[in-house]
Amino acid sequence: MSIISLLVAAKNAWADRRRRTQAYAELISLDDRSLADIGIHRSQIPGIVEGLGHSPVSVPASVAPAAHLGRILGGSHRPLAR
């Protein structure tokens, strides 16, 4: 592995961790009713967020259509509208 590819891998890992941390913070800040509207329970948040690190979108099918969760998964840096 070259130094360049090592640096690129480190950058990608850092960006992925930052995206997962942001997703967790935004999801955990939602109230239970908002979470129910997008089809998830508070206890599912850690699993959903950890799943983001293994594939681009590995969330339950019931969650994927949610527009504001889509922004999180897409890596957008805009805050969620409430």
pLDDT tens for each residue of the chain, 82 residues long: 699 999 999 999 999 999 999 999 999 999 999 999 999 999 999 998 988 655 444 445 554 444 455 555 555 444 455 4
Collect all residues with Cβ–Cβ distance below 8 Å to 63 and sequence separation of at least 6. Answer: 38, 39, 40, 48, 69
pLDDT the model gives residue 36 = 92
Q: DSSP letter at 80?
A: P
Dist. CA 6–CA 79, nearest whole Å: 31
Whether this model's pTM surpasses 0.85: no
pLDDT the model gives residue 50 = 86
